[in-house]
Amino acid sequence: MISKVVRAALAVAAMSLVPAAAQAFEPENPECIAPANPGGGWDFTCRQVGKSLQDLGLIDSTMQVVNLAGGGGGVAYAAVVNKRGDDSNLIVAASSATATRLAQGAYPGNTMDQVRWVGAIGADYGVIAVAADSPIKDLTQLMTQLKDKPSSIAVAGGSAVGGWDHLKVLIAANAAGISDVRKVKYIAFNGGGEAVTQLLAGSVQAFSGDISEAKGFVDSGDIRVIAVLSPERLDGDYAAFPTAKEQGIDAIGANWRGFYAPKGMSDDAYDFWVSKIDELYDTPQWKTVMKNNGLAPLDLQGAEFEQFVGESVAKIQQISRDIGIIK
């Protein structure tokens, strides 16, 4: 595999052979669509990356963030494909939830090759949480209640039914020995922030999401993480959160975070966005953002990222078949 240093050198050499005008793309009105309501992981991705790109001088103007919720990201995906297919100013937050919906055919008429995949900015481990005052103390207790009396527990998430937040709790339930995970009651909301709001209101008993969207609610004392779906405990502020694995439930769920762009975007624009996400990822400032928000390393851009998404879609299709979400 070509190293980043070599790739950068080749890129510089190639650029020297191209007229300056061909290199001149700069977004006039940069925009990031977050396919959910404010407060969730896609919203975090757009806002944090947009702010960081501007703060570091990687873009010249403020990135507008537009929340376009609905259909587990399907409303935004269809809007980009059907209405903004040649917009070079636009990038869209994506994640394992996006790959999940594509894998399950949940974006009617849409496939992953209808957009261009830009790059990843890290991976976000899944969490299962309860309200701070919940009588449920750990993951084992939650899974016991789900097994013995499934109607007593409703789990909220920010993805659609069959989406990544739903799959995470099903993977945990399956690992806990619940034979028919379809009995697990899951309620979908438009983003993790809305799901947590319902948890705090007492409408649901547990929350399935990602650590970046849970962090603020943990810091405010509103929720309590009872399991991180990581192979081992995370570092820093997250070290206090127990893994599912150490509670005897071998469930892993890592949610990559990144961006796609319109298929008809110009090559110059696509190369611009790929290079800026690559540059951002390599900065000390972004490494600090990752550390502060529980993001694990995942450094893929351009063709490598597109291949990764394709493999993710295939893997999720298999998981979905295994647990009965699709045939």
One domain, residues 133 and 240: yes
Give 4's pLDDT tier (boundaries 50, 70, 90).
low
Torsion of CA 205, 211, 213, 215, to 10 degrees: 90
Q: Check residue 6 and give its pLDDT.
A: 44
pLDDT value of position 319: 83
Q: What pLDDT does residue 152 have?
A: 96
Looking at residue 102, what is its pLDDT? Answer: 95
In this structure, are 183 and 219 located in the same domain? Answer: yes
Average pLDDT over residues 228-252: 92
User: Which one of 221, 247, 273 terminates a domain?
Assistant: 247
Report yes or no on 8 lying in a domain: no
pLDDT digits (tens, 9 = 90+) for 178-237: 988 888 999 999 889 999 999 999 999 999 998 888 888 999 999 999 999 999 998 888
CB 62 within 8 A of CB 284: no
- Residue 99 CA to residue 95 CA, distance in Å, equals 7
> Each residue of 13-60: pLDDT tens digit?
444 444 444 457 999 999 999 999 998 899 999 999 999 999 999 999
Mean pLDDT, the chain, rounded, equals 90
Do residues 112 and 159 share a domain? Answer: no
The answer for residues whose C-beta is within 8 angstroms of residue 307's C-beta and 6 or more apart is: none
Same domain, 70 and 154: no
Q: Which of 247, 276, 311 is the last residue of a domain?
A: 247
This prediction's pTM: 0.77
Please report whether residue 309 resides in a domain. yes
Whether 23 is covered by a domain: the verdict is no
pLDDT over 90 percentage in the chain: 73
CATH number at residue 224: 3.40.190.10
Span 281-301, pLDDT tens digits: 999 999 999 988 888 899 999
Q: How far is CA 156 from CA 163, 211, 231, 247, 316, in A?
A: 12, 15, 23, 22, 20
Tell me which residue has tokens 């603020």. Answer: 216
